[in-house]
Structure formats: structure tokens, C-alpha cells
Amino acid sequence: MARFFNTTGPVVPAEHYCIPPLERFDLPRVLRLIEDGRYFVLHAPRQTGKTTSLLALRDRLNAGGEHRCVYVNVEAAQAARDDVGSAMRAILGSVASRASVTLNDRLPTEIWQETLAAHGPHGALAELLTRWSAAASTPLVLFIDEIDALVGDTLLSVLRQLRAGYDQRPSDFPHSLVLCGVRDVRDYRIQSASGGEVVAGGSAFNVKAESLRLGDFKEDDVRALLGQHAVETGQAFVEKALAEVWRRTRGQPWLVNALADQACFRAPAGLDRSRPITEEAVTEAQEALVQGRQTHLHQLADKLGEARVRRVIEPLLLGEEGGDATPDDLEYARDLGLVTRDGPLRVANPIYREVIPRELLYAREAMIAQQAEWYLEADGGLDVAGLLAAFQRFFREHSEHWIDRFEYREAGPQLLLQAFLQRIVNGGGRIEREYGLGRRRTDLLIVWPLRGSASGAEAARRPQRHVIECKLLHGGLAATTREGVAQTLDYMDRCAAESGHLVVFDRSTDKPWEQKLFKREERLDGRSVTVWGA
């Protein structure tokens, strides 16, 4: 069976191209923690390879013969919410099933129901683990995945039962235990429905020795993964394509696999194994993923509606420092994988940077009654000046009503412009975005392929590139314009753009629209930028 790039569920090395799972973390350190009988946490954003790594570690431990290791996923208990009794039935049943399948050990299956009846939901898990560990001939190691899928009293009960039996190990409780989820247990804020209290996860499970985080792929990993496809099929990624996959994903495992899968197995050109995967193929693959609202991207974007995520992301969209995000808000956004963990705060990778505004604007964009053909020139090019003039009229008529309905109201003008442009550019081109904390601007690059021009095939290889920079009015129009024109020209140089436009949004409420709306040409060092007021 030919291998392929996996985008669903755990990796199976015989079926999927993969980086060896046990190379994804510091294996000697993990083995030492287990050997020393430690309880610890492994966490990372969704679809980064946590489950795959745990399953591989389980198999290694069981093959060694010095431990009996069972992996169990407790996500099924999430549906029970604060119904601890129902949730515990699901958890105990999952433990019993995994013990039987993995170790051919029937003891948990034989005792879990009587244990639940005798000790109740708040004691059954601890009693089951005690009896099971005592009957085991070798130390028991337990991996509990999706622990943070549990909520409220159910999560509290599980954590407290695991803590309560800690002093009985290794003879009468699991020798070592790993909790796996998106967040570190210390960051849980657990709302108890029965007690009405908010309990910190760190206090409910204060026997944790360490927290380990599974990182993204390194650039060498990305190249090695894509190289497996080249070896097995003869279809290589050209050097620029390899660099582009790394640049766009920054090694996020699902994104790397999804881009490669789209380029190699779904795009018609990619199915021809005699043709290499090019930089353009990677760009087209990203657009297909974003427009298809793939589950991973849609689930991630769904988090944008949460207030604690908005407090982190909105200043990035604005490019403004400050904001009211708390340390817990920031850590939550990092645990989700939305923003970087190290260095200056920014969106984690260019694909997420593209997805965030498009998801925020998805419904709004569909409601804009504009068509790409209205702005096409005779040679198939895009009339950017006409497009921005139309946006000025649209902004005057609709901005107050539309922005008031945005969840991200402070970034509303920039988002509305992006929605307007995206509605048109979806007709044949693409937009690339740059924004981030402290930039005080949003840079947009429209890439528009020419079709049917006199230059024919030559023009098709050289698409139009137009820079549009958005700024909020700060410190007076003259100062904002001077700064913005210089920034626009700099971005034009980096993008090899043929035209540059600066849009200045005036958020004041005491000026008439006749003063806010204008168009003029500004020159600097002999070069021109069109400035638009809005």
C-alpha cells in the first residue's frame, strides 16, 4: 500500500509519511520521568501529534517488558459534563476496554461496575486503579489523553482521585501517569457546579512533576517528511516549494501534511507524478484549504469568538500595543497554537494569519454585493483605483452599521476593507496579509494574474502585485501620511509591487464625511503612492 500524508487521527507509520513519533520529544527525559515514577503532563495544540507520540511510547514500554502501559482516551465522557456518575461510567469502561485490548488484561472489565456501585463516582476510579495496580506483576503506567475535554465536577473528581492515590504507588497505584491535552493542568480554571467554586487545576492535581510541550516540526523535519514522498513516488518538491511550505506553516504538523496532501493528492496537476511540486502549487494548495474551511482551520477559528482570545488577537489585527489581555488569556491563546510562544507576540504562522480575518469576515463578505468583473480592465488586470473608490462609497454608507455588529469592533475598519477586497479578489487572485503587535498598520498585497492580455503566456507568469496599506489616523493627518507613505514604499520594494495605496481611517466622530473621504497622490524620493481617506 502506498503511503500518503495524514490529516486525520493518529499517524500509522506503515500507512503515512511521518517523522518517527518518538523523535518528536526528548525521549530520554520522558523515560527517566517514567522510570522515576513521576506523574507529569504532555500538552500541545490540537493535531500536532500528541496521541501518535503517546501510542508509540506505550508500545515501546510494553515491548521492553519492565512496565505494563495502557493508553486511554477520556473524551467520550465530555458529553456528560457535570454528571459525574455518567462520566465515570464512560471513563471506567474506556480503561477496561483498553486494558483488555492492549494487555489482554480482563481484570478492569470484571471489576469496574462493582467498583462504581460500591465506591460511587467520586471514588471508583481510584479504587479501580488501586486493585488493578496491586494485581499487576510489573509497574503500571497509565496515559490519559484528552483530559481537558472533561469539564466541571467531572474533571475535578478525576484529578482529585488521581492525586488521592499517589502515595500508594507503585504497588497499589499506577507507578507513572501522563495527563495529555491542549493545556497544562496548572492553567485549568475549573467551575464546580455543585460547590459553585472555581478551582485551579494545579491545586486539584498538585502531584505533577513536570509539564512537557510537544513542539511543531523543525524545518529539517518538514524537508524530511516531504522528502519521503519524493523517494517513494519520484515526485519531488522543488527547493522554492520546500521553503514555501516551511514559511507558510512554520512547521505546524497538520498544516504541513494538509498542504502536501492537497498539492500531491488532490490538485489535478499534482496527480501527475512526472511533474514536480512547485511554489505555485503550494500557494494554490493553501488557498484550497482556506476556502474549503477545513475542519482544523474552522475549529481553530471558532475560538476567535471567545472573549479571552479576542483580547489577544484584536491588538494584533490593529497593530496596536496595549490592550486588556490577561496572562491567562495569553497563555490560553498560546496553548491553542494561535500565537507564538517565543519572541515578539504574533500570529503563529502565515496560514493562520490568513484564516483569522477571513473567518471573522466570512458571513460579512458574502453579503457584499460586488462582483470582480466590475473592476476588470481590458487586458484582464484589476482596476485597484476603481476598487478603492468603490470602497470609499461603501464605507461611507455602511461602516457605522456593519462595524457596530463586529465582535472585533476596534479592528472593524481594517476588517471591513479586507472583506470588501476579498469579495472581489476571490474572483481570480489572492490577498496576502501582514499585521502584528506594534506595527500600527496592516499590509495587504493583492496578487492578480493577468488573463487574455497582449503578452499572453508571458503575462500569466507575471501577475499584477498591488500593495494596500491600512492605518488608523494618529497624531494628525500629515504625520500619519508621511509615516504611511514611507511604509508603503518599503512594502512595495519587498513585494516587487507595481502600485501602492495607503488607506487612512479617521475614527473621529466630529468630522463630516466630506473631510474624511479624499484621494491624492503623495511622492517620496521620486516615487508615488495613492492616499485614500476613509
237, 226 contact by CB (below 8 A): yes
Kindly indicate the confidence band of residue 301, based on its pLDDT and cuts at 50, 70 and 90. Answer: confident
Window from 248-252, 275-279, 430-434 with minimum mean pLDDT: 430-434
> In angstroms, what CA-CA distances link 490 with 398, 495, 527?
32, 9, 11
Q: What is the mean pLDDT of residues 239-250?
A: 98
Q: Which residue has the higher pLDDT, 136 or 99?
A: 99
Q: Provide the grid cell at 123.
A: 471514588
With the CA atoms of 29, 35, 36 and 37 taken in that order, what torsion angle do they form, in degrees rounded to the nearest 10?
Answer: 120
Tens digit of pLDDT for each residue in 323-339? 889 988 999 999 999 99
| pLDDT of res. 190 | 67
| pLDDT of res. 454 | 44
| pLDDT of res. 201 | 60
| pLDDT of res. 124 | 97
State the amino acid at position 107 in one-letter form: L
| pLDDT of res. 399 | 84
State the amino acid at position 458 in one-letter form: E
State the amino acid at position 9 in one-letter form: G
Kindly indicate the confidence band of residue 184, based on its pLDDT and cuts at 50, 70 and 90. Answer: confident
b/e sequence 355-365, b meaning 16+ C-beta within 10 Å: bbbbbbbeebb
| pLDDT of res. 459 | 44
Task: Give yes or no for residue 187 having a pLDDT over 80.
Answer: no
Pairing of strands 499-505, 518-524: unpaired
Kindly indicate the confidence band of residue 185, based on its pLDDT and cuts at 50, 70 and 90. Answer: confident
Name the phi and psi angles at 316, rounded to 5.
-65, -40
Tens digit of pLDDT for each residue in 81-109? 889 999 999 999 999 999 999 999 999 99
Please list the residues that pair with 237 across neighbouring strands.
277
Window from 309-323, 331-345, 448-462, 491-505 with minimum mean pLDDT: 448-462
125, 87 contact by CB (below 8 A): no
Task: Give yes or no for residue 192 having a pLDDT over 70.
Answer: no
With the CA atoms of 388, 390, 393 and 398 taken in that order, what torsion angle do they form, in degrees rounded to the nearest 10?
Answer: -90
Q: Provide the grid cell at 314.
A: 484584536
| pLDDT of res. 269 | 92
Q: Where are the alpha helices (DSSP H) in 376-520?
A: 384-404, 412-425, 457-460, 477-495, 513-516
DSSP 3-state percent helix, strand, coil across the chain (nearest 5): 50, 15, 35
Q: Where are the alpha helices (DSSP H) in 43-172?
A: 50-64, 84-103, 107-119, 124-135, 152-164
Q: Provide the grid cell at 84.
A: 459525574
Task: Give yes or no for residue 453 having a pLDDT over 50.
Answer: no
| pLDDT of res. 496 | 93
Burial of 148 (0-12, 13-18, 19+ CB in 10 A): buried
| pLDDT of res. 380 | 87
b/e sequence 111-123, b meaning 16+ C-beta within 10 Å: bbeebbeebebbb
Q: Could you count the other beta carbons within 10 Å of the beta carbon of residue 482? A: 13
451, 372 contact by CB (below 8 A): no
Tell me, what DSSP letter sits at residue 501? E
Task: Give yes or no for residue 456 having a pLDDT over 50.
Answer: no
Closest CA to 125 of 112, 138, 143, 139: 112
Q: Provide the grid cell at 4.
A: 500518503
188, 198 contact by CB (below 8 A): no
Please list the residues that pair with 71 across neighbouring strands.
143
Q: At what angle do helices 295-302 and 350-360 cross, to 10 degrees?
A: 60
Task: Give yes or no for residue 275 having a pLDDT over 90.
Answer: yes
> End-to-end CA distance of the chain, in Å?
58
Q: Which residue has the cell 503550494?
A: 282
Task: Give yes or no for residue 27 having a pLDDT over 50.
Answer: yes
Kindly indicate the confidence band of residue 202, based on its pLDDT and cuts at 50, 70 and 90. Answer: low
Q: Which helix (H) or strand (E) holds 524?
A: strand 518-524
Q: What is the mean pLDDT of residues 288-294?
A: 88
| Mean pLDDT taken over the chain | 91
Tens digit of pLDDT for each residue in 351-383? 999 999 988 887 777 788 788 788 888 888 999
189, 148 contact by CB (below 8 A): no
Q: What is the mean pLDDT of residues 233-240?
A: 97
Domains of the chain with CATH codes: 21-213 (3.40.50.300), 219-292 (1.10.8), 329-533 (no CATH)
Q: What is the mean pLDDT of residues 164-191?
A: 88
> What is the full DSSP assignment across 160-223?
HHHHHTGGGTTTSS-SEEEEEESS-GGG-EEE-TTT--EEEHHHHTTTEEEEEE--PPPHHHHH
Tell me, what DSSP letter sits at residue 271? G
Kindly indicate the confidence band of residue 263, based on its pLDDT and cuts at 50, 70 and 90. Answer: very high
